[in-house]
Structures are given as C-alpha cells and as structure tokens.
C-alpha cells in the first residue's frame, strides 16, 4: 500500500501509536507525566515585575501601562526598586506614597485595566527586607530580591533567602538564583531548601523572562511545581520594549510542565486581587 505521509508532528506520533510530546518536554521528562494543557502566552493576563522612571526604568508608569494595554494585558503590578537600591534610584517611603497616589488616580480613570501596587524590595544580607513592616503591609504585593552581597557562602546565602521567604510580607521571590547569562554565574545557593521554604510559607517563585536572566531555570521550576509552589512569569521590564520578553518565560514554564493553574498571572484581575488579600 501507499505509505501515509503525515503532515504534522502530531500526525507522526499518531501514526506510530504514541502520545504526542510537545517539543519543550522532550528532554528530561516521562511521557506519562506530560500534562495535556501546558500554559500558553494567550493565557497570561498580566505581570508583576517592571520598573519605571521612578527608579531605573526608561519609561514612565503611564507609558508602561499604555504599552501593556496595547499588548493585550489586563493588569500589571509596578515594582520599582526599594530604598536601599541607591544604585537604581530606589524609592524612599515618601516617594512610595507619592507613587501610590498616582496609581490610585490612574486606576480611578480605567475600567478595563488595573495597576497593582508593588515593590521589588532588596533582601538585606541578614535576610530582612529594606522597609519597615508599616510600609510593607500597604503594598498589594512584595517581590523580595537579592541585588548585593552575592558572594556569601552557600549556607549564609541560603539562610538569607529562606528568612526572606519566611517574612509575612513577602509575596514572591524575584530572579531566585541571580544569574546573568554569559556574564554572571548564579550565587552559591541550596535551591532545594529555598523551594521548600517557598512551599512551606506559601510564597510564589518568579520565572524571570528577561533574556539576560531566564531565572528560574526550567529544571528548578519543574521541582517547584512538584512541591506545589505557585509561580509567576514576569518580564522584569525596564522599558516598554522589554515587555515583549514574556513568551520566553512562558517557554520556560512549558518546559517545566506548568499549566495555567501553576501560574498566578493566568488568573483574572479579581482572582489576583483576592490572592493578594487572602
């Protein structure tokens, strides 16, 4: 007979009597562990990590909002740098309050889009965040990130991140390993313990989609998924153009086997709001 000519990869698998394996999952996975509904870019409703001219961003909050709306998102969470990030024009408490007023004014003018009030708070060497609890309690969400003292030994660096994850005001851990591709190795860290701390304390771990970071790596993201850790895919955008890096983070999430239920920003604005106020 005539050999059937499959016209797609799916057809090849079907012809061989095999379950289709998405390209992202053809490394380091077992076929029976493959979900049928990997997360897709069109399921992403918004994101939570970007910077404006209030800290070290290139574009203003208004410009970033307009670009995000144009890209089809329904919400964003602003997270400028915090007060100890002097190198990035970090926000003092007074400047935070000023930004909140601008956000309130903008939210009152929009019915189809929402801005969540956040901050990227530096994790100090001892694991504390760099604002008083009185300020931290007023944000919708707090991203805790390491930006200095990256040379701590493995035990101290791990303890630092674990303490930050135990902070009741921490919402998510930003770019967890600190790597910059082709320029900086990840810092010494027991990522297994960090993931356990996130799971134990109900914290989110970020998949940072910046092309310079791509952090969390898909291997660690897969482990985090297996331990029930919720993740968020964020562009860490410092300009309007950097918003377009989101599909790179989605690719990591897919390779890790994540579905929409594993990713906070697949949820609607009301669902995200409920999560932040739980």
Q: What is the predicted pLDDT for the residue at 2?
A: 62
Residue with structure tokens 């930050």? 164
DSSP lists the bridge partners of residue 117 as: 78
pLDDT at position 114 over 60: yes
Pick the CATH number of 35-276 from 3.40.50.280, 3.20.20.70, 3.20.20.140, 3.90.380.10: 3.20.20.140
**CA–CA separation, 246 and 211 (whole Å):** 10
CA angle 47, 158, 133 (to 5 degrees): 60
**CA–CA separation, 129 and 147 (whole Å):** 12
3-state secondary structure of 179: coil
Helix (H) or strand (E) holding 248: helix 246-255
Query: And the tokens for 240?
Result: 């309007």
Residues constituting the chain: 278
Mean pLDDT of 88-111: 97
**CA–CA separation, 71 and 244 (whole Å):** 8
Q: Give me the phi and psi of 95, to 5 degrees please.
A: -75, -30
**CA–CA separation, 14 and 87 (whole Å):** 56
Q: What is the predicted pLDDT for the residue at 3?
A: 65
How many Å separate Cα 67 from the centre of its chain? 19
Q: What is the predicted pLDDT for the residue at 30?
A: 60
Q: Which of 196-200, 229-233, 256-260 has the lowest mean pLDDT?
A: 256-260
Give domain limits for the chain.
Answer: 1-25, 35-276
**CA–CA separation, 47 and 68 (whole Å):** 9
pLDDT tens digits for range 135-191: 999 999 999 999 999 999 999 999 999 999 999 999 999 999 999 999 999 999 999
pLDDT at position 31 over 80: no
- pLDDT level of residue 20 (50, 70, 90 thresholds): confident
Instruction: Choose among 39, 136, 32, 38: nearest CA to 83.
Output: 136
Query: And the tokens for 228?
Result: 């029930």
Instruction: Choose among 33, 20, 44, 30: nearest CA to 251.
Output: 44
What is the DSSP annotation of 6-39? -SSHHHHHHHTT-----GGGSSS--GGG--SSB-
- pLDDT level of residue 19 (50, 70, 90 thresholds): confident
Q: What is the predicted pLDDT for the residue at 271?
A: 98
């Amino acid at each position: 007979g005539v050999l059937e000519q499959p016209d797609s990869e799916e057809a090849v698998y079907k012809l061989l009597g095999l379950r289709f394996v998405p390209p992202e999952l053809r490394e380091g996975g077992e076929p029976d562990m493959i979900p049928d509904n990997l997360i897709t870019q069109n399921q992403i409703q918004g994101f939570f990590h970007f910077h404006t001219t209030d800290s070290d961003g290139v574009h203003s909050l208004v410009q970033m909002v307009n670009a995000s709306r144009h890209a089809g998102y329904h919400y964003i969470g602003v997270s400028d740098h915090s007060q100890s990030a002097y190198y990035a024009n970090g926000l003092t408490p007074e400047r935070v309050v000023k930004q909140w007023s601008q956000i309130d004014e903008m939210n009152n003018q929009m019915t189809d889009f929402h801005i969540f009030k956040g901050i990227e708070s530096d994790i100090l060497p001892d694991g504390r965040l760099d604002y008083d609890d009185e300020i931290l309690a007023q944000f919708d969400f707090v991203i805790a990130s390491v930006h200095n003292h990256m040379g701590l030994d493995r035990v101290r660096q791990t303890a630092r991140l674990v303490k930050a994850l135990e902070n009741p005001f921490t919402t998510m851990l930003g770019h967890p390993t600190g790597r910059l591709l082709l320029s900086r190795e990840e810092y010494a860290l027991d990522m297994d313990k960090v993931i356990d701390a996130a799971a134990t304390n109900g914290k989110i771990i970020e998949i940072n989609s910046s092309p310079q970071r791509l952090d969390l790596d898909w291997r660690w993201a897969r482990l985090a998924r297996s331990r029930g850790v919720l993740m968020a895919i964020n562009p860490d955008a410092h300009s309007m153009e950097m918003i377009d890096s989101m599909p790179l983070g989605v690719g990591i999430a897919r390779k890790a086997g994540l579905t929409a239920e594993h990713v906070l920003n697949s949820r609607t604005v009301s669902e995200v709001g409920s999560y932040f106020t739980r």
